[in-house]
Amino acid sequence: MKISKLLTLITMILFAVSSCDETEEIIDNITTISGIEASEDVELAFIPLNTVGYGITTDMDLRAVLKEETGVDGTLDAVKEIKLTGLNMEAIAPEDSNFDFLDEVTLYVKTDTEEKKMIAYASDIEKGQDKIILTTTNDTLDAYAKSENLELIVEYKSNSTEINRTVRFNMTFEAKVNL
């Protein structure tokens, strides 16, 4: 009887040790990729004075961006978590443009299947700035990033009725990928 209990105990210990090895392998396969960059140019035209929702449907292909970063095809399917870690807004046209017309800006993402979600914002924007660093929410955006139908929504409050600018949203992402 003592021998069977001893064998059972040894078997359980061996099973536990072998399970830990498999768990470590799974954990070891998850890699964090920082500094994944993407950008989107948007034209802002005449708007009335007040908050306006301006929707832009992007054709940004995060699958291609991640493939380029990792060298692995279909990487987006292996993404376990993706976050927007940085975002700035840059006035790019006309050449001497700035954000004097802008009081505040909030960015959202939305897809056909996912609700509108705030991802970044800036308020009390100083005059003379041609680049604004937005505060990101640091929320996970997995379902949004994997969508083929990602819409970037820019809502802003303006102090001018005449706007004709092209702005670039420079985004930096961090992804946890199971390679």
Cα Rg of the chain, angstroms: 23
- What's the confidence (pLDDT) of residue 25? 47
Task: Note the residue count of the chain.
Answer: 179
Q: How far apart are CA 168 and CA 99, in angstroms?
A: 12
- Indicate the fold that domain 32-178 takes in CATH: Jelly Rolls (2.60.120)
- What's the confidence (pLDDT) of residue 48? 55
pLDDT in single tens digits along all 179 residues of the chain: 555 444 444 444 445 554 444 444 445 578 887 887 877 787 776 555 555 545 555 556 666 676 677 666 666 677 788 899 999 999 999 888 899 888 888 888 888 899 999 999 999 899 999 999 999 999 999 888 877 777 888 888 877 777 778 889 999 989 887 76
Extents of the domains making up the chain: 32-178
- What's the confidence (pLDDT) of residue 21? 45
Ordered strands of the 79-93 beta sheet: 30-44, 165-178, 79-93, 131-136, 117-123, 102-110, 151-158, 51-57
- Cα atoms found within 13 Å of the Cα of residue 161, Cβ hemisphere only: 2
Whether the ω angle into residue 94 lies within 30 degrees of 0, i.e. cis, is yes
- What's the confidence (pLDDT) of residue 54? 52
